[in-house]
Structure 1
């Protein structure tokens, strides 16, 4: 597995465990509602993950971008679909999103290689 992916997943897992171990009710509920929001509903999981990816790019959250890229990959998103998602994010977010798009493409390529 790519070191880029491995490092991200290890860090995310370790920190999530620490956060949830705090036993803070609000944090647990935030994590829970996040999980519930991305379940199958009127919109497919794949569509919701693509929406999450657009939002993450526009908000310029690289960790969120990586997370949603992984989920999009798991849902069978094609590279062609990914670039349409990236184009919407850049349209909505403007050129400030371009550096995040570069990192997203790098991470996507790592996912494709694994």
Structure 2
């Protein structure tokens, strides 16, 4: 049995919990939303590049939820598998074996969201 999650299911479940948090903690969730928006908007680096950086960090931090959301966004932004694999290679270079294990998760998420 694989320990790689179903990313469509995972991101849907996390989104539902985040909506619940928005109802009970609106200030926190508004601030988090603004932070996310500021960290991923087009600026000196284009949004896709910033999302690729975020994915590399998600892999290094071993955050499957983050991997799912950033890969989902990257697919929507038209990221190619070759672009994704370039950033995954850099993540492995910087994080070694543990990052390699999470790279397989990112590839799974890319396959799911690309359908």
TM-score scaled to structure 1, two decimals?
0.87
Moved over 3 A (4+): none
1:29-79 deviation line (CA, Å, top 9, x unaligned)? 123211222111111110010010001001110110111111111111111
- Whether contact under 8 Å (2:11, 2:65) holds in the other structure is no
TM-score scaled to structure 2, two decimals?
0.86
Number of positions where the alignment pairs a residue of Structure 1 with one of Structure 2: 111
Of 66, 81, 91 in structure 2, the residue corresponding to residue 64 of structure 1 is 66
Unpaired runs of 5+ residues, structure 1, are: none
Alignment-derived partner of residue 107 in structure 1: 109
- Aligned residue runs from structure 1 range 16-31, under 5 A: 16-31=18-33
- Aligned residue runs from structure 1 range 1-114, under 5 A: 4-112=6-114, 114=115
What is the alpha-carbon distance in structure 2 between the residues aligned to residue 60 and residue 5 of structure 1? Answer: 14
What is the alpha-carbon distance in structure 2 between the residues aligned to residue 69 and residue 16 of structure 1? Answer: 18
Unpaired runs of 5+ residues, structure 2, are: 1-5
1:5-43 deviation line (CA, Å, top 9, x unaligned)? 431232122111111111352343123211222111111
